[in-house]
A = this chain, B = another copy of it.
């Protein structure tokens, strides 16, 4: 009966992260509230469903639903929840996947006690593991990678849970960060390459886990450190322990976390996200410098890079595209010209800034090229003399197998067209990308980042990479 849920950002042409994770082992009974606020801060990582499981010992309670954290949860149902431990999850679901059964956290009920799991990422040997488990009698309710891990953990023969966890994680290949709530403990783990982020935080002497540091700031906490690749951390009230299930491989942290996914107020080990984006804008300014009168970001994704770019070029920075904040949750789009209409519902140019000016538009990335042409058209209709488009990352020419939106390679515009053709498609006078060399200069070459979507250098083989 419910109808559509809130999809405010569907108009954007961006890669999508699969998930955001949060976990906490508190000394007080505030796990539901902390998890709620933590997830809300991670909402940009996934808007299609939200779930929280809380508990003390064996008695776990969970609630999941389609929509935003603030739609699924409210003061009333949060107060029905009780517990010192909690994990939570927000997700952007893959097209076609059964929405209901695939919501996370996954809650497993056992006569020995319950367990809840949530993850972010993508296994590269998922199909193979599943085949093997099914051959041994396992049954699956979902298509989630975490259901594979749950089966592995349940195999007979383990002496204790941590042994089971260590050995099961060794079976998994691919990109993952995960949180598990079981008994009195919240576990967190990252794959040996550390593709996906997972940070440890602290509040009033208790420990937390989150995909990004912004989740800790919102609730008054602070960052402790990142979970290391191949590490399992154990959170109990007031305690943080750790063990390794694998030697860390050469780290391959997803460079797109810096470029687009993470919130500007988050930081990873290299730097603050806003600051690195500014630097990318500055670097772009040294590579691509068309004549222009002012610099306008595509809001909000291009904001930080455009500030850096404008500063480096000595040009005025102007918020020349106004966002309409008021798109309700249930609006069903007109059938024709959907994307153009969506762009118009969301963005409006300030004509007086643009008329007769040479505009340099800055965005963080260009994936399918479906939206930019309408933004450019809009700026031209507002009277721009010329429009130049600077992208503060390299052309996305290769699919990702480690947890981003599963774009087929044919949909990536840079896999089919060269820069001149893309410029023509988008309708700009000139188009400039940050070079791969420029990117590597900032992030360090071979220093621990995965840039496979730009370079095609996949750190791990996959069952289906092409």
Name A residues whose Cβ lies closer than 8 Å to a Cβ of B. Answer: 1-3, 6, 8-9, 37, 40-41, 43-44, 47, 64-65, 67-72, 74-76, 100-101, 106-112, 127, 130-131, 134-143, 150-151, 154-156, 214, 217-218, 220, 263-265, 267, 271-272, 274-275, 300, 303-304, 307, 311, 316-319, 322, 324-335, 344-345, 348-353, 381-382
Contacts and interface: CB of A to CB of B under 8 A. Distances in A.
A136 B107 contact: no
Given A134-B112, A272-B351, A322 B263 contact: yes
A319 B265 CA distance: 10
A328 B6 CA distance: 8
One complex includes copies of this chain to the number of 4
Contact of A41 (B154, B318, B324): B324
Given A322-B264, A326-B69, A348-B265, A108 B311 contact: no
Contacts of A1: 2-3, 65, 71-72, 74, 330
Contacts of A138: 137-139, 154
A327 B71 CA distance: 8
A348 B2 contact: no
Contacts of A263: 322, 348
The 7 closest A-B pairs by CB, nearest first: A272-B352, A70-B331, A71-B328, A70-B328, A43-B326, A68-B328, A265-B350
Contact of A139 (B110, B275, B300): B110
Given A70-B327, A141-B141, A156-B135, A319 B307 contact: yes
Contacts of A71: 1, 328-331
A2 B311 CA distance: 49
B151 A75 contact: no
Nearest to A222: B351
B326 A329 contact: no
A40 B331 CA distance: 12
A353 B274 contact: yes
Contacts of A64: 100
A101 B61 CA distance: 12
A257 to B, nearest CB: 16
Contacts of A326: 6, 8, 40, 43-44, 47, 68-70
Contacts of A143: 109
9 contacts: A109-B143, A111-B134, A138-B139, A217-B351, A218-B348, A272-B350, A272-B352, A307-B318, A328-B329
Q: Which of A47, A328, A331, A352 has most B Cβ within 10 Å? A: A328
Given A1-B3, A41-B324, A154-B134, A140 B69 contact: no
A348 B214 contact: yes
A340 to B, nearest CB: 11
Contact of A350 (B274, B322, B331): B274
